[in-house]
Amino acid sequence: GAGVSQSPSNKVTEKGKDVELRCDPISGHTALYWYRQSLGQGLEFLIYFQGNSAPDKSGLPSDRFSAERTGGSVSTLTIQRTQQEDSAVYLCASSLQAGNQPQHFGDGTRLSIL
Amino acid sequence: SQKIEQNSEALNIQEGKTATLTCNYTNYSPAYLQWYRQDPGRGPVFLLLIRENEKEKRKERLKVTFDTTLKQSLFHITASQPADSATYLCALVSDTGRRALTFGSGTRLQVQP
């Protein structure tokens, strides 16, 4: 497709389980970002990847969160031992390069922890 | 600390009027500022980017101003329509080295027919 694709669109899981969220960026975009948006709140930066450089993980809230980007394309955000406060919409975006380029967002994964 | 502030109260206006949304920032010296639109249940959509040496940028019914002295950007929608109802987010890149966008919390615009 032409846009950023995220899957699943919704995920409900029990507290303590691990979850994996997937992002397919726009082809040719070297930068990929993960954000979290809680109900009625703004976007909270989590992590970004730029080409083959080491990712900027400075926004990850705890060591239960990790992300990887394979082959410079698809990215997976993993949350281990989920907690109720992890419930949020997780948004992925890509851009031609990191920095001031416009970002193109997917519609997110709505994660609910029971 | 660095902050981006948008009016958290919803802005309600009548169709045909001009909507003006404000974005203020502190402890940033951004070279660029971006505006996005977000509809419920969807990801943000890029609207406009303005550079620090551009006082004003226009795109169709949209106009953005950028005052680096006041540390403020104004976002205008002229001849507003009910379809313009959405949350509008401003964003900029921190000058501390992180090259991801930092977003304001957004202002919800409701255009009444």
**pLDDT tens figures, B2-13:** 789 998 889 999
Residue A45 to residue B31, Cβ atoms within 8 A: no
Does pLDDT of A65 surpass 60?
yes
Distances (CA, A) of A79 to A13, B2, B67: 11, 28, 40
The answer to whether A13 and A19 are in contact (CB under 8 A) is: yes
Distance from CA of B8 to the nearest CA of A (A): 10
What's the whole-number mean pLDDT along residues A27-49?
91
CA angle B11, A100, B75 (to 5 degrees): 20
Closest Cα in chain A to B50: A100
CB contact under 8 A, B34 and A98: no
pLDDT tens sequence across B20-45: 999 999 888 888 899 999 999 999 99
Q: What is the mean pLDDT of residues A22-28?
A: 95
The shortest C-alpha distance from A15 to chain B (Å) reads 24
Interface contact flag, B103 A43, Cβ < 8 Å: yes
